[in-house]
Structure 1
Amino acid sequence: MKTQLVRWLSLLTYVGLIAWVMAWIIFLGEVDPQHKSIWLLLFVTPLLIPLRGVLAARDKTLVWAVLVTLLYALHGSMVAWTDETQRWLGLTEAALSLGFLFSASYFIRWRAAARVQ
């Protein structure tokens, strides 16, 4: 039961992070309209590469996705620290990234423990 809960939480936070980054660039942030496509390419593509493995719950892919989302936690923290007007955007990005980090980590751990039993 708890394994399924953290599995769904990890999926929700990962897909939520993808949606949040896209919404930030397209609607919410202070991004120049001429450069939105390049920012989408640079910020969304790294999250889309491991998406298939995250959806399939592959352990190695989840670990790589956690490492990728650490960059987004760092980015969100830096924006929250330095830009007062976009602080809430950065805090949300960092929260989604760290939420995925913890939920995916617990999912991998608890599923491995269930396999051993």
Structure 2
Amino acid sequence: MKPIYYYIIALTGFFGLFALLMLWNTVLAPSGRLPVALVLLIAVTPLLLPMRGLLDRKPRSCAWAAYVSLIYFLHGTAEAYANADERLYAVLEVMLSLMLFFGSAFYVRMAARQN
């Protein structure tokens, strides 16, 4: 398979995860205990760190995006276990984080093989 396909999977996971976190914390189930801005800052900031390099297809940034996605995998599994009301969102977070992880990891691996 060509590296571009893995890159598209990684981007789908990345932007899907970004959109899910924005919607989940603002529209779908906002936190009643913490300010929405604070929750968004904590939830979305790690995704923004490797974003520029990911969009430029830099292998190092893609690898970091894979590592960052593991944070969202852990959060999604914990939420799916602990919060039955938001289990659907948590499972979606797990799926998107896995798309980002495997897409990024395989993109870096396949791109390195081509060069």
Note the C-alpha offset of 1:32: 2.0
The corresponding residue for 1:22 is 22
Note the C-alpha offset of 1:2: 2.4
Q: Distance in 1 between matches of 2:71 and 2:46?
A: 10
The one-letter code of the counterpart of 2:103 is: S
RMSD (CA atoms): 1.4
Query: In the alignment, is residue 92 of structure 1 matched against residue 88 of structure 2?
Result: no
Note the C-alpha offset of 1:33: 8.0
For the 8 Å contact 2:50–2:64, the answer to whether it is kept is yes
Note the C-alpha offset of 1:38: 0.4
Structure 1 consecutive aligned stretches of length 4 or more whose deviation exceeds 6 Å: none
Following superposition of structure 1 onto structure 2, how do residues 4-83 of structure 1 map, counting pairs within 5 Å?
Answer: 4-32=4-32, 35-83=35-83
Structure-1-length-normalised TM-score: 0.92
Q: Which runs of 5+ in 2 are unaligned?
A: none
For the 8 Å contact 2:72–2:97, the answer to whether it is kept is yes
Q: Distance in 1 between matches of 2:11 and 2:49?
A: 15
For residues 57-99 of structure 1, what are the alpha-carbon distances to aligned partners after superposition, in whole Å with 9 as ceiling and x for unaligned?
A: 1111111111111010000000001111111111000110011
Q: Distance in 2 between matches of 1:72 and 1:29?
A: 17
For residues 44-69 of structure 1, what are the alpha-carbon distances to aligned partners after superposition, in whole Å with 9 as ceiling and x for unaligned?
A: 11111211011011111111111111
Q: Which runs of 5+ in 1 are unaligned?
A: none
Structure-2-length-normalised TM-score: 0.93
The one-letter code of the counterpart of 2:91 is: L
Relative contact order higher in (CA < 8 Å, ≥ 6 apart) = 2
Question: Kindly, what percent of the aligned residue pairs are identical?
Answer: 32
**Across the two proteins, how many residue pairs are aligned to each other?**
115
